[in-house]
Amino acid sequence: MTTPSSAMPSDFNAYWQQTLQELARLPAAPEVAELPLRSTDFATAYGVRLTSIGPYRIFGYLSIPKDADADADTDAAGAGPFPARYYLPRYGSVADLVPQGQANGQRRQHVTFAVCVRGQRLADQPYAAAFPGLLTDGIDDPQSYIYRGILADCRRGLEYLLTRPEVDPTRIAAIGPDLALATAALSPEITHAVCTPAIFCNTPELAARTTAYPLEEINDYLRQHPERQDAAHRTLSYFDLRWFAPQVAASTLLIAGADGAPLDAAALEPLAQSIPGGCELHKSEHSGFKDGVHSEQWLTRQFGLPEPSLPPHWQQ
Amino acid sequence: MPRIPADQYVSQVRKPDDIDQFWEDVLAATARIPLAPESRYDPLRSSADVEVHEIFFTSLDDVRIAGWYALPRERSGPLPGLLQVPGYNMEPPVPKPWARKGYAALSVAPRGKLRSNRQFNPGYPGLLTYGIVDRNTYSYRGFYMDACRGVDFLIGRDEVDAHRIGVTGHSQGGGLTVSTAALRPEIKAAAAGAPYLCGYIDAIELTDAYPYQEINDYLRQNPHRRQQVTDTLAYFDGINLAHRINCPIIVSVGLQDSTCPPETGYAMFNAIATPHKQIYGYDGHGHDANNHHHAAIIDQFMAQHLQP
């Protein structure tokens, strides 16, 4: 049964259209600086600063493969075009250049861009998010909820990635938790998505079924402010992946929890079915190795690459 | 070429002759600093069954350290204390699950973590190589002490039985579990998952993944400092601290762990002094080290030794 608090808001599309229009009115004003410490003989790393709504200055780690045919003594980035991996952040203060545990060697054949959204390290001035705390910041009103700005940040990062001539526009993957699918919905330029939903899928019901953070933040908040429940639930409905999914044109890999988990394959099946770009629903095997290899192999096939980028311990 | 089985790997790590003296000096310097504990009840994070406090104490270099301290509301006598130590790029969790199991649980935020980063904030990436050319300035000198000071905080609490204190964590938390159990004899039980900070110089050859990749980044820029880096890291390596562990300890590793290579976990485990040790090597698992299954083993182990 769909309760009023979990229903799709009638102005869902208008809300996001207004947010994107607000973003479009602000120039990104990119500043790009090479990061020699994180550059290798096969890829050049950059720090990128951009303006998002607020206005607010955000950060991203960019990595560009060095052209295999280029003079090895130069630091010039390769001409490309290369497939791109756009990494959306997990819940926490740190965004990594390449997600922890994944092969750094993926930077040989991909442009990678990892955005640090408002509140995260490197994008924490003047707003330094608290963990726990971020998930309920401004939750009483869709206009003030912190995730409105965060999703605008994610969209802005994608817009910057699209300006890079080294990126192959036919192969751009958004990779990450809930933010990956939501960003794909707001960005038709994203061709592929690898998403592990954890928070924004009928969030009120999810939170009620757990005492684990970060969802416990919502329980904490409503325990202190029970009179604000309807307002908080209404706000969360603007961020629900179920309402974003019908707008996702990207070919999508959805990683579901194992059987019995709050977001297991059965729970995510309707979401997967509603993605018009096509969706493979993969049931987690409770193994970062197995799930990681599956994701890499899926993306390799989708991008038409000969070999997946696997760290040594993932290679059989 | 096929990889050598993780349990047969021979580490390159060499133990400095003066490692014990080095740490005795650091522990003594830390002990001279007043703990100055502070505890503030946090009604937002507390619930019907658990009370949560935001706590602070002072550690080495006079750095103020934060933490979350959770207690079961219903308690009749002294509680066992449990120190929970965090992963590298995660936020220290509010340890309510441990409080619900009957422990006085402290989740410490060592220097550089949010809420403990006003005086020291090398960032992520960054922490792993900060001050790495000198064992007296290396980031983990203070970081290890911050975890150790968590033991002092627990000992100082009226509701905690100082003879029943354990430590647990995963990844960097696994490494800190090893270092804390090695440096603080008050620890009576330790459970380390996928331990980081063990076999640093092995790991930078075994994996190309971050966070260990930070060391390769540093050495690419500073190749002339390789020996200094190797010398510094030897003092902080869990393999070289393991001989000091005398409490019961369990270790879990994923045999396909690309973040903390299993070879390094085994090398550390083999160096542990106490016979009361057990390692769980999980084939088919990466950095999760089969935590979904192993969590119950940790619960049982802690309950056996700390009796909540």
Instruction: Using the structure block, give the residue that is written with the tokens 């290579």.
Output: B261
Identify the CATH class of B6-306: alpha beta
CATH number of A4-302: 3.40.50.1820
pLDDT of residue A78: 55
The C-alpha of B222 sits at a distance from chain A's nearest C-alpha, in angstroms, of 10
Instruction: Compute the distance between CA of residue B209 and CA of residue A176 in angstroms, rounded to an integer.
Output: 17
What is the SS3 string spanning A87-150? ECCCCCCCCCCCCCCCCHHHHHCCEEEEEECCECCCCCCCCECCCCCHHHCCCCCCCCCHHHHH
B111 contacts B133 by C-beta, under 8 angstroms: no
What is the SS3 string spanning B79-105? EEEEEEECCCCCCCCCCHHHHHCCCEE
Provide the 3-class DSSP secondary structure of residue B37: coil
pLDDT of residue B5: 93
Q: Which of B161, B202, B257, B288 is catalytic?
A: B257
Domain range list for chain B: 6-306
Pairing of strands B277-282, B64-72: unpaired
Q: Which of B45, B94, B254 sits opposite A289 (nearest CB)?
A: B254
Nearest to B54 by CA among B100, B129, B114: B114
Return residues 215-274 of B near A (CB < 8 Å): 217-218, 220-221, 254-259, 261-262
Number of CB pairs, chain A paired with chain B, less than 8 A apart: 123
Domain range list for chain A: 4-302
Tens place of pLDDT for every residue, chain A, 316 residues? Answer: 445 457 899 999 999 999 999 999 999 999 999 999 999 999 999 999 999 999 999 999 999 999 744 544 444 445 679 999 999 999 999 999 999 999 999 999 999 999 999 999 999 999 999 999 999 999 999 999 999 999 999 999 999 999 999 999 999 999 999 999 999 999 999 999 999 999 999 999 999 999 999 999 999 999 999 999 999 999 999 999 999 999 999 999 999 998 888 899 999 999 999 999 999 999 999 999 999 999 999 999 999 999 999 999 999 7
What is the per-residue pLDDT across B74-105, written as a single tens digit (0 to 9) for each?
999 999 999 999 999 999 999 999 999 999 99
Contacts of B93 in chain A (CB under 8 A): 213
Cross-chain residue pair B208–A103, CB shorter than 8 Å? yes
Instruction: Compute the distance between CA of residue B85 and CA of residue B174 in angstroms, rounded to an integer.
Output: 8
Instruction: Compute the distance between CA of residue B101 and CA of residue B79 in angstroms, rounded to an integer.
Output: 11
Instruction: Compute the distance between CA of residue A311 and CA of residue A290 in angstroms, rounded to an integer.
Output: 13
Backbone angles phi, psi at B189, to 5 degrees: -160, 140
pLDDT of residue A3: 53
Q: Which of A37, A100, A212 sits opposite B210 (nearest CB)?
A: A100
Cross-chain residue pair B259–A131, CB shorter than 8 Å? no
